[in-house]
Amino acid sequence: MNKLFTSFILLAFGSVLGHGQVATNPKVVAVDVEQVLTNYSKFQAARKKLDASKENAQQEIEIMKEEGKGLVDRAKALEAKIKNPALTPAAQEKSRQEFEVLRKQIQQKERDLLAYIQRTDAVLKQRLKSILELNMSEIRDMVALVAKEKGADLALNKSLKDFVIYSADYFDVTKEVLNRLNAAGSK
């Protein structure tokens, strides 16, 4: 079914180009968009910043976990103190009250940690989405420009599995698109 649809699309693009004119010799270029995106210097720089943000978030999570662990250790010590038969009933009650306060603090710390993880994950996913959208827009524009300059009627994405089965090397404009994007990004 997928191959039939792909064949139909290629046939439609190949046979009807322009205002209803039949293309006798359509020119096609191919580009590996995944390779361009991966090697695009602007995307790499944005990805490094995103990775640094992830690392900072992970460090914050570790700090919060250590704080929680400290509270749990204090609670365990109080629990042992409560069970000590040498304590007076008043001292045991005071330790129980402290333990209850610590238990509530531990529960709050767990909720805070979970909320932080969820918020951070959502923010990082949104930033990645924005980075991808921005870079893909620039890549599409550059592919269109290069394709037009080469007189192409159609540009295909080679990185889509089973969409481009074969393309001769002279159809591939991946390096040219990548070089121009990186050159434009360094200005």
pLDDT of 19 above 70: no
Q: What is the pTM of this model?
A: 0.69
Separation CA 51–CA 128 (nearest Å): 10
Output 1 or 150, whichever has higher pLDDT: 150
Handedness of CA 161, 163, 168, 172 (dihedral sign): negative
The pLDDT score that the predictor gives to residue 35 is 93
Q: What is the mean pLDDT of residues 56-80?
A: 94
Mean pLDDT of the chain: 84
Separation CA 155–CA 146 (nearest Å): 9
**Left, alpha or beta for 161 (phi > 0: left; psi -120 to 50: alpha)?**
beta
Q: What is the mean pLDDT of residues 49-66?
A: 96
pLDDT of 178 above 60: yes
The pLDDT score that the predictor gives to residue 162 is 64
The pLDDT score that the predictor gives to residue 103 is 94
